[in-house]
């Protein structure tokens, strides 16, 4: 397991300590429900717990024993993952899981572990076939479920699990982790504030759609600083990339980070995004009240939750921004 990921998991002090104590006492429970909001390392933590249960080394998840190494490469037959984050899980898949786990373990260790990632995305009538399997646990079979919210999980399942609650990693901690992995300071700051999840940050970095959104923000800031056609540019080119609520939210998230820097510069405080230094210096001079513009960006973001018209929202925001310039 990557050392940076392990360090992020260790920051989840309470659930990490529970796993560590269970490993040291060799006494894992039969079912766990890992709960955490968007951005928390749900799957990484579930995978870490699965490795802890099967690890035969002397230290917690040694990453040296046969079990740890083969799980890392998806070659351990007594370990299975059902990922419902983006995939539709049907009744047959859960029946197959139940059939496989009803058989004797393949490995001499005798333990079998399965993860159902985002169990809250699986319909209740599909999950019902697992109830007896969970209610009457078989020795040496361990279930690990993840969810964004315990309230979305069937009470008949959650009541039979030990709940491990994860908390969001701070943007500062994540930014430091990204810098340790070789990212530059601008990248680490932006991506750590768009998501609090290391894996998602890496995914977003290679996502062409997000890269275009980031470049669009940078282009618009440059045009606000040095020309008078930011709104025209947004209407002509911006809406090619801002197509829905998700991309609009990403756009406003990056845009708000830039305005934080403009506020810092205006107050003679250290700023973060070095690539926009020249444009932001100019805007700090030109804006009468950048704090008011920042508040407008936050309010605009909040309107996305009520399915407001995206182009009207952003056009209105940019008209207000233009009105705030000297």
From 104, 137, 165, give the residue that closes a domain: 165
Residue 198 domain-assigned (yes or no): no
157 and 242 share a domain?
A: no
Which pLDDT score is estimated for 1?
63
From 114, 144, 165, give the residue that closes a domain: 165
The answer to whether 87 and 125 have CB atoms below 8 angstroms apart is no
293 burial type by CB count under 10 A (0-12 exposed, 13-18 middle, 19+ buried): buried
The answer to whether 23 and 111 have CB atoms below 8 angstroms apart is no
CA atoms within 13 A on the CB side of 76: 25
150 and 11 share a domain?
A: yes
The radius of gyration of the chain's CA atoms, rounded to the nearest angstrom, is: 24
214 and 152 share a domain?
A: no
Which pLDDT score is estimated for 286?
94
Residue 173 domain-assigned (yes or no): no
16 and 129 share a domain?
A: yes
Provide the CA 77 distance to its chain's centre, in angstroms. 28
Residue 226 domain-assigned (yes or no): yes
Residue 33 domain-assigned (yes or no): yes
- The domain that holds 83 is classified in CATH as 3.40.50.300
pTM for the predicted model, two decimal places: 0.64
Provide the CA 142 distance to its chain's centre, in angstroms. 25
Which pLDDT score is estimated for 204?
82
Domain span at 269:
207-323
Residue 172 domain-assigned (yes or no): no
From 113, 146, 165, give the residue that closes a domain: 165
Which pLDDT score is estimated for 206?
83
Nearest to 236 by CA among 252, 225, 223: 223
Nearest to 112 by CA among 74, 131, 138, 73: 138
95 and 17 share a domain?
A: yes
Nearest to 284 by CA among 252, 244, 324, 248: 324
31 and 154 share a domain?
A: yes
Which pLDDT score is estimated for 192?
86
Which pLDDT score is estimated for 2?
62
Largest Cα–Cα distance in the chain?
75
Residue 58 domain-assigned (yes or no): yes
20 and 116 share a domain?
A: yes
54 and 141 share a domain?
A: yes
Question: Number of structural domains, the chain?
Answer: 2
The pLDDT averaged over each successive group of 10 residues in the chain (326 residues) is: 70 90 93 87 92 94 94 94 87 90 92 94 86 81 94 90 87 81 89 78 83 95 94 96 91 95 95 96 94 94 86 95 90
Residue 60 domain-assigned (yes or no): yes
Which pLDDT score is estimated for 22?
94
């Amino acid at each position: 397991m990557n050392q940076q990921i392990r360090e992020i998991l260790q920051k989840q002090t309470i659930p990490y300590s529970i796993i560590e104590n269970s490993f040291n006492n060799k006494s894992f429970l039969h079912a766990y429900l890992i709960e955490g909001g968007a951005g928390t390392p749900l799957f990484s933590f579930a995978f870490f717990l699965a490795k802890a249960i099967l690890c035969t080394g002397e230290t917690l998840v040694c990453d040296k024993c046969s079990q740890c190494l083969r799980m890392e490469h998806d070659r351990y037959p007594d370990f299975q993952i059902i990922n419902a984050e983006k995939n539709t899980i049907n009744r047959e898949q859960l029946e197959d899981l139940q059939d496989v786990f009803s058989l004797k373990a393949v490995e001499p260790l005798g333990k079998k572990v399965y993860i159902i990632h985002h169990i809250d995305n699986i319909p209740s009538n599909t999950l019902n076939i697992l109830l007896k399997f969970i209610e009457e646990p078989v020795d040496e079979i361990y279930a690990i479920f993840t969810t964004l919210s315990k309230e979305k999980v069937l009470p008949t399942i959650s009541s039979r699990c030990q709940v491990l609650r994860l908390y969001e990693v701070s943007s500062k901690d994540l930014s430091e982790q990204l810098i340790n992995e070789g990212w530059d300071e601008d990248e680490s700051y932006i991506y750590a504030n768009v998501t609090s999840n290391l894996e998602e940050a890496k995914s977003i970095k290679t996502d062409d759609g997000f890269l275009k959104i980031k470049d669009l923000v940078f282009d618009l800031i440059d045009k606000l600083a040095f020309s008078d056609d930011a709104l025209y540019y947004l209407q002509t080119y911006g809406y090619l990339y801002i197509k829905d609520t998700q991309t609009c939210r990403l756009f406003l998230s990056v845009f708000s980070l830039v305005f934080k820097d403009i506020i810092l510069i205006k107050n003679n405080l250290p700023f973060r995004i070095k690539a926009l230094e020249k444009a932001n210096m100019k805007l700090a001079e030109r804006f009468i009240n950048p704090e008011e513009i920042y508040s407008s960006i936050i309010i605009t973001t909040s309107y996305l939750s009520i399915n407001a018209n995206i182009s009207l929202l952003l056009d209105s925001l940019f008209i207000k921004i233009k009105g705030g310039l000297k």
